[in-house]
Amino acid sequence: MDIKTRIETAVAAAIVRGQSGVAPQRLAGALDYAVNPGGARIRPVILLSVAKACGDRNPALADAAGAALELLHCASLVHDDLPCFDDADLRRGKPSVHRATSESIAVLTGDSLIIMAFETLARAAGSDPARAATLIGLLAQRSGMPDGICAGQGWESEAKIDLSAYHRAKTAALFMAATTMGAVAAGQDPEPWEELGLRIGEAFQVADDLRDALCGESELGKPAGQDDLHGRPSAVTQLGVDGAKARLKDILSGAIASIPSCPGEAALAHLVQAQARQFAPLDMSASRVPGE
């Protein structure tokens, strides 16, 4: 089974479990609506690619980890779109969850998906509970306080922002979860894989800043120009468009250089370049990443 199919299968299985039995139907429907049709599933693709590069010794646990990470990410999108945050009407080209249902259902959808993420890992503990517990710990660390995406959002309520901590928590955290969880699911230590996740996160942040500045709403599937509108720090406002593009290329070559020695090292480098092409703005897509 290819990686995308593994992810969709694992995510779908989790959602079906969450909707089973005597469940409130609006919330049950919103769980599915929030995760399907998915975006590029970049985070679990990276997670499973790292697991494969490390030998993929426990594919069932890796699949659960990929699904858990995607569920957590989708939960964060649902909550980020709420009126008290971005007040976004659109997500992935369709009405955001609170627009399609209600604010209360959207809060519950996010809460349920967060819980489902941890439940998915707990259910996959079977033959290797110690590794499952490590995965749960890593996912929690990169999601919550003080280092995870909750902290990242929390920084936006501070009068004085620690920019490095902000970007690390807001965007890099779930990519660090992806690389470290992929390694752990395959029986490796997480630490050597942190830098790759951090650098992919930095690249993603700069690419996202470029897309927000250069693309229209129809291309993004969500409102454009949000950084400018909300006065958020952005690589484009700091470095200009050309400066941000140069920074993106530097980060990507650093990311590839940071990949720990492993059986699938070359394939993983290729994957990072391919993913970069997918999420970079259109006029970056033909650029050659250094080392390619």
**Residue 28 contacts a second copy per CB under 8 A:** yes
Query: Which two structure tokens, joined as six digits, stand for 194?
Result: 């942190």
Length of the chain: 292
In the complex, what is the shortest distance from the CB of residue 64 to a second copy, in angstroms, rounded to a whole number?
11
**Residue 74 contacts a second copy per CB under 8 A:** no
167 vs 245 by CB, closer to a second copy: 167
DSSP letter for each residue of 211-271: HHHH--HHHHTS-S-HHHHHT---HHHHHHHHHHHHHHHHHHHHHHHTPPS-TTHHHHHHH
- From the list 56, 63, 70, 119, which residue makes contact with a second copy (rule: CB under 8 A)? 119
Q: 208-223 burial, b if ≥16 CB within 10 A, otherwise e? A: bbbbbbbeeeeebebb
**Residue 115 contacts a second copy per CB under 8 A:** yes
Letters for 122-161 (x = contact with a second copy by CB under 8 A, - = none) are: xx-x---xx-xxx-xx--xx-xxxxxx-xx-xxxxxx---
101 vs 188 by CB, closer to a second copy: 101
Cα–Cα distance measured from residue 238 to residue 5, given in angstroms and rounded to the nearest whole number: 39
Residue type, position 213, single letter: A
Total Cβ atoms within 10 A of residue 129: 11
Letters for 30-59 (x = contact with a second copy by CB under 8 A, - = none) are: -x----------------------------
Letters for 85-104 (x = contact with a second copy by CB under 8 A, - = none) are: x---------------xxxx
**Residue 189 contacts a second copy per CB under 8 A:** no
Sign of the CA dihedral running 201, 207, 212, 213: positive
In the complex, what is the shortest distance from the CB of residue 139 to a second copy, in angstroms, rounded to a whole number?
8
128 vs 292 by CB, closer to a second copy: 128
Cα–Cα distance measured from residue 271 to residue 3, given in angstroms and rounded to the nearest whole number: 12
3-state DSSP of 127-193:
CCHHHHHHHHHHHHHHHCCCCCHHHHHHHCCCCCCCHHHHHHHHHHHHHHHHHHHHHHHCCCCCHHH
Of 43-51, 54-62, 114-122, 254-262, which part binds a second copy (CB under 8 A)? 114-122
In the complex, what is the shortest distance from the CB of residue 141 to a second copy, in angstroms, rounded to a whole number?
7
Which residues contact a second copy (rule: CB under 8 A)?
A: 18-28, 31, 75, 79, 82, 84-85, 101-105, 107-108, 110-112, 114-116, 118-119, 121-123, 125, 129-130, 132-134, 136-137, 140-141, 143-148, 150-151, 153-158, 162, 165
